[in-house]
Amino acid sequence: MNQQDKYAQLFAAEAREHLAEMSRALVALEEAPGERGSLDAIFRSVHTIKGMAGAMGYDAATRLAHNVESVLDELRGGRREISPELIDLLLQSTDVLDGVVEATVAGAEPPDPSEVIESLVVWRLADARQTAATEQEETDVVSPPPMSSVSPSNASIRNAASRQETTSST
Amino acid sequence: MSRTVLVVDDAIFMRTMIGDILKQAGFEVVGEASSGVEAVKKYKELKPDLVTMDIVMPDMGGIDAVREIIDEDPDARILMCSAMGQQGLVVEAIQAGARDFVVKPFQPSRVIEAVQRLLG
């Protein structure tokens, strides 16, 4: 077996273990959203998958894992809170990552993870929109702003999302 | 005599890859550890010339492991293996006593250069 095949086999085995761990810990997190251990376990698993996929040059898996990791970073840093919708999005991301990993290790073209990546980026940017809206409300008390300076629209968030995705994949 | 290295990472994949890079460059991998706790224990046992240290690991991360190893041996040579976006953690590790860092996914030549520089 050459070295690259050896690494590919190690990647497949370890990535599968971590995907299973992510699913298990996400269910635990859904039942007990304050459970820090589950959150840390999901973060470590997706971080490991990102590192391994990056080393193998598996771009789709690296990009998706990176974006999941960024969302988890927000939660671990206490900047955002877990919601049932976010758990659903993370479970969906894990499923897509599983599909990407399986196709990649089988030597097939992996499914394009762009759609779920965009949802992850939109979730992260929604906080910026909320913060901007709150700041705007505070400003409103002093002097009402023109309509154009109100918080960004969903369209502008989606545009920013595609820019972020491009940046994070480099 | 070849210089000895302890490779610390929670992923077997990464330990294997880093180990292969080092062995091919003539270093002797005397041990591996998959957590910070294990890294500290193995460092005391093996007294390697160099440690490659992952940051995110279960049962004590890499930064706390650096602190404990440096407490035990202030001359320990530790190379951090970080991921993109972990600049803050790398700074913390260097403040804790790590000597240098490489960023994953790394080029084998970059790892060898860093290791050779640390071992003087």
Task: List pLDDT tens digits, range A78-123.
Answer: 999 999 999 999 999 999 999 999 999 999 999 999 999 999 999 9
Task: Count up the domains in chain A and report the number.
Answer: 1
- Give the nearest partner residue to A52 out of B14, B56, B57, using CB atoms: B14
A to B CB pairs, distance under 8 Å: 45
- Give the nearest partner residue to B13 out of A3, A14, A41, using CB atoms: A14
Mean pLDDT of chain A: 85
Look at residue A113 and tell me if it is in a domain: yes
pLDDT at B36: 97
Pair B110, B100: CB distance under 8 Å: no
- Examine the pLDDT at B95 and tell me if it is beyond 60: yes
CB distance A50–B83 less than 8 Å? yes
Look at residue A165 and tell me if it is in a domain: no
pLDDT at A150: 42
Look at residue A90 and tell me if it is in a domain: yes
Look at residue A159 and tell me if it is in a domain: no
DSSP type of residue B76:
-
- Examine the pLDDT at B66 and tell me if it is beyond 80: yes
Buried b (16+ CB within 10 A) or exposed e, B51-69: bbbbbbbeebbbbbbbbbb
Q: Distance (Å, rounded) from C-alpha A37 to C-alpha A25? A: 9
Residues of A with Cβ-Cβ distance to B57 under 8 angstroms: 44
pLDDT band at A169 (very low <50, low <70, confident <90, very high): very low
B24 min Cα distance to partner chain A (Å) = 12
- Examine the pLDDT at A3 and tell me if it is beyond 50: yes
Tokens read off for A83:
């919601």
pLDDT band at A145 (very low <50, low <70, confident <90, very high): very low
Look at residue A156 and tell me if it is in a domain: no
Look at residue A150 and tell me if it is in a domain: no
Q: What chain A residue is nearest to B16 in terms of C-alpha separation?
A: A7
CATH number at residue A26: 1.20.120.160
- Examine the pLDDT at A156 and tell me if it is beyond 60: no
Q: Is B83 on the interface with A (CB under 8 A)?
A: yes
Look at residue A161 and tell me if it is in a domain: no
Mean pLDDT of A34-57: 95
Look at residue A128 and tell me if it is in a domain: yes
- Alpha-helical (H) ranges within chain B are 12-24, 36-46, 62-72, 87-96, 108-119
CB distance A48–B105 less than 8 Å? no
Q: Which residues pair with A63 in a beta bridge?
A: none
Tokens read off for A39:
């959150």
Work out the angle at residue A87's Cα, subtended by the Cα atoms of residues A152 and A68, and round it to the nearest 5 degrees.
70
- Examine the pLDDT at A133 and tell me if it is beyond 70: no
Nearest to B40, CA basis, from B3, B78, B11: B78
Pair A65, B83: CB distance under 8 Å: no
Domain residues for the domain of A88 are 3-140
Q: Distance (Å, rounded) from C-alpha B45 to C-alpha B32? A: 12
Task: List pLDDT tens digits, range B41-63.
Answer: 999 999 999 999 999 999 999 99
Q: Distance (Å, rounded) from C-alpha B62 to C-alpha B40? A: 10
